[in-house]
């Protein structure tokens, strides 16, 4: 039930943020937060497919290429599981490292799909990526407090 | 170990699925999303609409604050301009009166001075002007108003001057009928009359206008003084006495015009 509510809340907030967020500024990735939150309390055989499906939903909501975010979130969830396995869970610093690892993996997934489809990769400024990570991180830390 | 292998297997499987899906659906990417949007979009659309409304409300609130500040500023400016307008209107009226005096009474205008005080003792009828020596006022200068003669300056300080009005008992004004021959002297008869004495040969009747003549040399010739109310013979017919009401209502006088002395 909580997971369903979290999904509905994410959908609602994503619409709200897209209206309120300043133009030209990278918004926080709420679906990444949701995927990691779900992965935190679930085994990998559930967490990975859920992350993948959440990514597909994100693709559909963005009217974009189906699979781009799916693969991105799949990478993120996989990296998060891998990081959690190696780091002591429940502490702030490992949580930060796990998030950074997952965030980087998400973008790696995006680039992989782009390369796979021979897409032109849009010119991304590292500062944009950093801002997106910084905006997403507080939401991730907040979500960690509410275990699924 | 088995768990890691399972995770890797799922990951690879889903990765292949994702890559295959992206390749397969690439040609119909936006259409597919649009087709499925009735299932996916309602909740984000609700959030989006709420966000837009919040943004519009905030914008309206800011605009309203701007308008409020602008309105306040304009009100302050309007009050300033209204004050300035009133001041200028008074100034114009004052100058018009001065111009009228210059045209009708004498070219020797010195100043237009505000009346700041009045002696109501009953013994004297004197006015205090808000200008003095510093403004060029001197003893002996005639004081008039657009309606007619007021009096004569008898005392001057740096910023004030005392005027002996024509109804003061010490006042003496040389007068003549406006449309007749002959001269006489009008003394002040408090509280609000003058008593003019003429030789019996002068023809004066009630209603006649008396103006200044120049036998005593204090006032320019031709300034209206007052209108005759009553005429009587005195000293067995050797003199003609006329009770005169001044044209200027001293109690309503706000400004007086000071002329150059003869």
Q: B120-163, pLDDT tens digit by residue?
A: 565 667 888 888 889 888 888 999 888 888 999 988 888 888 88
Lookup: tokens for B28: 């119909």
What was the pLDDT predicted at B107? Answer: 59
Task: For residue A55, list chain B residues with Cβ-Cβ distance below 8 A.
Answer: 18
Hey, where are the domains in chain B? 51-104, 109-259
Residues whose CB is less than 8 angstroms from the CB of residue A65 and which lie 6 or more positions away in sequence, other chains included: A59, A113, A117, A119, B22, B25, B26, B29
Is residue A96 within 8 A of residue A84, CB to CB? The reply is: no
Extract the tokens encoding A27. 């918004």
Question: How far is residue A94's CA from residue A87's CA, in Å, rounded to a whole number?
Answer: 6
Residue from B14, B19, B25 to probe the interface with A (highest A Cβ count within 10 Å): B14
| Residue B217 pLDDT greater than 70, yes or no | no
- Among A22-26, A119-123, B180-184, where is mean pLDDT lowest? A119-123
Is the model's pLDDT at B17 over the cut of 90? yes
Q: Inspect the interface and report whether the beta carbons of B51 and A44 lie closer than 8 Å.
A: no
Residues of B within 8 A of A84 (CB-CB) are none
Give first-to-last CA distance, chain B, whole Å: 128
| Superfamily of domain covering B109-259 | Rod shape-determining protein MreC, domain 2 (2.40.10.350)
Provide the pLDDT for residue B106.
57
Alpha-carbon gap, residue B248 to B256, rounded angstroms: 11
3-class state of residue B137 by DSSP: coil
How far does the CA of residue B86 sit from the closest CA of chain A (Å)? 51
Q: Please answer whether residues A49 and A86 qualify as being in contact, where contact means their C-beta atoms are separated by less than 8 angstroms.
A: no
Residue B59: closest C-alpha in chain A: A20
Residues of B in contact with A61 (CB under 8 A): 33, 40-41, 44
Q: Does A17 touch chain B (CB under 8 A)?
A: yes
**Cβ contact A63–B30 (<8 Å):** yes
Distance CA B248, CA B194 (A): 12
Higher pLDDT, A25 or A71: A71
Mean pLDDT confidence for A100-105: 93
Q: Find the CB nearest A74 among B11, B33, B52.
A: B11
Beta-ladder partners of B242: B196, B231
Residue B190 has pLDDT above 80, yes or no: no
What CA–CA distance (Å, rounded) separates A133 from A29?
Answer: 8
For every residue of B182-200, DSSP letters joined together read --EEEEEETTTEEEEEE-T
Nearest to A16 among B17, B19, B51 (CB): B51
- CB-CB: which of A15, A60, A68 is closest to B43? A15
Residue of B nearest to A78 (CA): B11
Q: Do A15 and B44 touch (CB under 8 A)?
A: yes
Give the number of A-B residue pairs with CB atoms closer than 8 Å: 125
Q: Please give the residue of chain B at the shortest CA–CA distance from A112.
A: B19
pLDDT at A89 over 70: no
Distance CA B21, CA A59 (A): 12
User: Which of these ranges, A67-81, B55-69, B100-114, has the smallest mean pLDDT?
Assistant: B100-114
Q: What percent of chain B has pLDDT over 70?
A: 92
Nearest to B45 among A15, A64, A85 (CB): A15
pLDDT of residue A32: 94
For residues B80-91, give the mean pLDDT: 92
Check pLDDT > 60 for residue A103: yes
For residue B230, give the nearest of B210, B240, B246, B244 by alpha carbon. Answer: B244
DSSP for B1-60, written as a single string:
-HHHHHHHHHHHHHHHHHHHHHHHHGGGHHHHHHHHHHHHSHHHHHHHHHHHHHHHHHHH
**Residue pLDDT, tens place only, B22-76:** 888 888 777 777 777 777 778 888 888 898 889 888 888 888 877 888 888 999 9
C-alpha B48/C-alpha A14 separation (Å) is 8
- Among candidate residues A10, A89, A77, A73, the one with its CA nearest the CA of residue A42: A77
With an 8 Å Cβ cutoff, are A71 and B19 in contact?
yes
């Amino acid at each position: 039930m909580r997971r369903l509510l979290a999904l509905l809340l994410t959908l609602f907030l994503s619409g709200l943020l897209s209206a309120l967020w300043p133009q030209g500024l990278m918004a926080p990735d709420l679906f990444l937060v949701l995927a990691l939150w779900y992965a935190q309390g679930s085994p990998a055989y559930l967490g990975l497919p859920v992350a993948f499906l959440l990514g597909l939903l994100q693709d559909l909501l963005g009217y974009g290429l189906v699979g781009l975010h799916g693969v991105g979130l799949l990478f993120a969830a996989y990296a998060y599981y891998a990081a959690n396995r190696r780091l002591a869970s429940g502490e702030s610093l490992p949580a930060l490292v796990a998030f950074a690892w997952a965030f980087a993996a998400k973008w790696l997934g995006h680039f992989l799909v782009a390369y796979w489809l021979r897409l032109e990769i849009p010119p991304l400024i590292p500062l944009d990526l950093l801002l997106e990570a910084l905006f997403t991180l507080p939401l991730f830390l907040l979500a960690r407090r509410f275990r699924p | 170990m088995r768990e890691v292998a399972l995770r890797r297997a799922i990951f690879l499987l889903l990765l292949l699925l994702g890559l295959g899906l992206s390749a397969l659906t690439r040609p119909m990417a936006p259409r597919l999303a649009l087709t499925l949007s009735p299932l996916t979009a309602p909740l984000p659309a609700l959030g989006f609409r709420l966000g837009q409304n919040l943004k519009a409300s905030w914008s309206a609130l800011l605009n309203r604050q701007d308008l409020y500040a602008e309105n306040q500023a304009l009100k302050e400016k309007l009050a300033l301009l209204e004050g300035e307008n009133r001041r200028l209107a008074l100034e114009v009226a004052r100058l018009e009166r001065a111009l009228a005096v210059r045209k009708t009474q004498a070219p020797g205008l010195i100043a237009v001075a505000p009346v700041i005080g009045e002696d109501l003792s009953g013994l004297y009828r004197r006015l205090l002007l808000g200008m003095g020596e510093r403004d060029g006022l001197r003893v002996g200068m005639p004081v008039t108003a657009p309606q007619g003669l007021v009096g004569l300056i008898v005392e001057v300080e740096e910023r004030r001057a005392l005027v002996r009005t024509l109804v003061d008992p010490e006042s003496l004004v040389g007068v003549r009928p406006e449309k007749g021959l002959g001269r006489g002297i009008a003394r002040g008869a408090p509280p609000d009359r003058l008593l003019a004495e003429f030789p019996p040969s002068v023809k004066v009747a009630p209603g006649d206008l008396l103006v200044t003549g120049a036998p005593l040399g204090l006032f320019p010739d031709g300034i209206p003084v007052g209108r005759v109310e009553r005429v009587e013979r005195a000293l067995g017919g050797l003199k003609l006495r006329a009770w005169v009401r001044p044209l200027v209502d001293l109690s309503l006088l706000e400004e007086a015009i000071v002329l150059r002395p003869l």
